[in-house]
A and B are shown apart, each in its own frame.
Chain A
Amino acid sequence: MASPVPAGGIDDQAAQWAVEAAYGDLTAEGRAKLDVWLAADRRHRGAYARARAVFLAMEDAVVGARLTATTPVLGLVDTAPTSTPVRPAPTRRGRRMVFGAAMAASLAVFVLVGALVSSRTDQPDLAAGHIVKLEDGSVATLQRDARIDVVLSADARRVTLLSGDATFRVAKDQARPFVVRSGEVYAQATGTIYSVARVGARGGAVKVMEGSVLVWSGDQRERAVLLQAGDSLILDPPSPAPPRPRPDKAARKGPPPPSALAQIALDDTPIRVAVGRLNRVNRTKIVLADPAIGDIRIVGLFKADDPDEFARMAAAVSGGEVERGPGVIVIKLR
C-alpha cells in the first residue's frame, strides 16, 4: 500500500505527541494541532494510541526496575539468612543485572503462586453478598458475617477486615492506594477487583479477579508479592516474637486440624523450617543434603501431604536437585 508519509515518520510524530500528552501540559493550541493531526489519518490515531501505551509500558519498566533495584529482593527467596539490600549498581549494565536477578527471584514466586490457584475453590458469590458503597466510589461486597472498618484519608484508603471475607471493586485513584488489612496481612491495589478473607487470628487469603494486587505480611512490605488476576495467596503469619516458628510448638498440639493439614502456607520461611513441618506429617521424609539449602527462604502455599511437590519447588528455588530414595527425598546442591 502506498504511504504518503513513511511509517517511521508517523511513529516519530506520535512519540512527540504522546510525551506531551503524558505530561498533561499541552496548550490549547497544541491540543488543537494534535486533534488536527489525529483527524488527518487513521494511522495517526493508531500510532498515537500505540505510542501512549508504549510510553506507559516504558515508564512502568523503569519504575519496576527502580523499585526492584532498591528493595532487597522482591518477594521471596534469599540466599542468605539475613538479607542485605541490593543497591543499584552505578553502571547501567550493573543495574540491569540486579533487576534481572530480582526478576528471576520473583519468577520463583510466580511459579509458587501459580501452584496455589486451584487450592481455593470457595470463590465468594458476588450476588449473595451485602453490598457497601464506599465514599470513594469503591464497592465492598461482604460475605456472611463479614465486618469491615473503613478509613478514607487524603493519601490512603484503608479498610480493615475484622471478620469473614469481602470482595472489593476498587475505584481507580492512583494517588490513594487502597489497602485491605486482614490480621497481619495487607493487600494493596489502586483500581482492581479482589477478595480478602480472614484466616485464623493473623492471616488472610487474597484472591485477585481483575488487575493486580500487592500482598505482604506485617511490616515486610518490601517483600510483597504481586498477584495478578486469577492468582490467590493465603498467608498465615506466625506470631511475631520468634522469627521462625518453633517446631516443637506445633508438635505438642497433637494432630493438627484438617484444614491446617491440607495446606502449609509459607511466608518467607527458611526451607529448613518448612521441611520440619512437612516431615512431621508425612511418612516420606525430606532430607537436606546441604545445610545452605535450609537457610534459603521460600514463599507459597503447599499441600502438606505432597512432599514431592514441595521438594521440587524447594530445589527449583535453591538451584538444587531432587534425588529420591526409599522413604526419603533428598534435596542437594548440584
Chain B
Amino acid sequence: MNGERDIITAWIAREIVPHEGAMRKWLARRWRGAVDAEDVIQEAYCRIAGLARVDHIDNPAAYFHRTVHTAATDMARRAGANNLASMTQEDWFGVIDSRPLQDRALEASEELRRVNALLSNLSDTCRRVIELRRIEGLTRKETSERLGVSENDVKNLLVRGLRKVLKTMAEQEAEGEDREQARRKVQANG
C-alpha cells in the first residue's frame, strides 16, 4: 500500500472525521437544501484526499470548513443556484476551531461522545475482529480461523460495522435539520 496515502488517510481520520458532524450541521443550517449535503461532503473528502501532503495545515478544522464551503459554492454555482450568499464572520467563527486551550476539556468530552457513538454501532464480534487485526496483527485468514467463521464473514462483519457508522454520521445532519425545522415551526406557531 502507498505510504503517503496512508499518512493522509490517518490524518483525515484523526483531524477531519471528528469535525464531520459539525460540518454537516453547518451545511444544513447555512445552505438549507441548496446543495446536496452528501455530495458536498464527498467532494470535500475527495479534494482533501487528493492533497499531496498535509503537514502545512495548521488548523485542520478550519481547512475542512473552507474546503466544504468552496465545494458547496462550486456545486451550487454549477447547479445554477442563485441564492448564494457570502459567508458572514459568524459563519466562520461558528465552526473554526479557534478555541483556547482551556476549552480542550469540552472538546475531549465531545470526542468521548463521538467515540462512544462510534462504538455503540459495532457488534461485539465486529470489535473482536478489529482487536485481532489491530492489536494482535492477524490477517483476515488468521482472524477467520480464530473466530471459526469464513473469511467472507470476517469481511462482511467489518463492512456492516463501517456502513452503520457511515450512516450514523450522515444522519447527524438530518438530526440537525430536524431540530432546526422544529424550532422554526415552533417560532411560526408561537
Give residues in A with beta carbon < 8 Å to B: 1, 3, 7-8, 10-12, 14-16, 18-25, 42-43, 45-66, 92, 96, 99-100, 103-104, 106-107, 110-111, 114, 117, 172, 191, 210, 230
**B42 near A10 (CB under 8 angstroms)?**
yes
- B148 within 8 Å of A (CB atoms): no
Most buried by B among A51, A52, A57: A57
Q: What's the Cα separation between A21 and B140 when bound, in Å? A: 12
**B45 near A50 (CB under 8 angstroms)?**
yes
- B12 within 8 Å of A (CB atoms): yes
CB of B55 to closest CB in A, whole Å: 8
CB-CB under 8 A from A55, the residues of chain B are 158, 162
Contact of B162 among A15, A100, A111 (CB under 8 A): A15
**With A1-B39, A54-B165, A66-B135 given, can you name 13 additional A-B contacts, CB distance below 8 Å?**
A3-B36, A23-B133, A46-B47, A47-B45, A50-B45, A54-B13, A58-B130, A58-B162, A65-B115, A96-B120, A99-B116, A99-B119, A107-B105
CB-CB under 8 A from A21, the residues of chain B are 1
**B130 near A63 (CB under 8 angstroms)?**
yes
Which residue on chain B has the smallest CB distance to residue A8? Answer: B167
**B42 near A110 (CB under 8 angstroms)?**
no
Give residues in B with beta carbon < 8 Å to A: 1, 3, 7, 9-10, 12-14, 16-18, 20, 35-36, 38-39, 41-50, 55, 75, 79, 101-102, 104-105, 108-109, 112, 115-116, 118-120, 122, 124, 127, 130-131, 133-135, 139-140, 155, 158-159, 161-163, 165-167, 169-170
**B45 near A49 (CB under 8 angstroms)?**
yes
Contact of A1 among B36, B48, B134, B165 (CB under 8 A): B36
CB of B34 to closest CB in A, whole Å: 10
With A1-B36, A7-B36, A100-B112 known as contacts, the answer to whether A117 contacts B101 (CB < 8 A) is yes
Q: What's the Cα separation between A99 and B111 when bound, in Å? A: 13
Which residue on chain A has the smallest CB distance to residue B137? Answer: A175
With A12-B163, A56-B13, A62-B130 known as contacts, the answer to whether A43 contacts B108 (CB < 8 A) is no
Q: What's the Cα separation between A42 and B43 when bound, in Å? A: 7
CB-CB under 8 A from A42, the residues of chain B are 42-43, 46
With A1-B35, A42-B43 known as contacts, the answer to whether A62 contacts B122 (CB < 8 A) is yes
**A15 near B41 (CB under 8 angstroms)?**
no
Which residue on chain B has the smallest CB distance to residue A66? Answer: B131
**B104 near A110 (CB under 8 angstroms)?**
yes
**A43 near B46 (CB under 8 angstroms)?**
yes
**A11 near B170 (CB under 8 angstroms)?**
yes
CB of B111 to closest CB in A, whole Å: 8
With A62-B130, A100-B116 known as contacts, the answer to whether A46 contacts B135 (CB < 8 A) is no
Q: What's the Cα separation between A58 and B159 when bound, in Å? A: 12
With A23-B140, A52-B9 known as contacts, the answer to whether A61 contacts B16 (CB < 8 A) is no
Which residue on chain A has the smallest CB distance to residue B1? Answer: A24
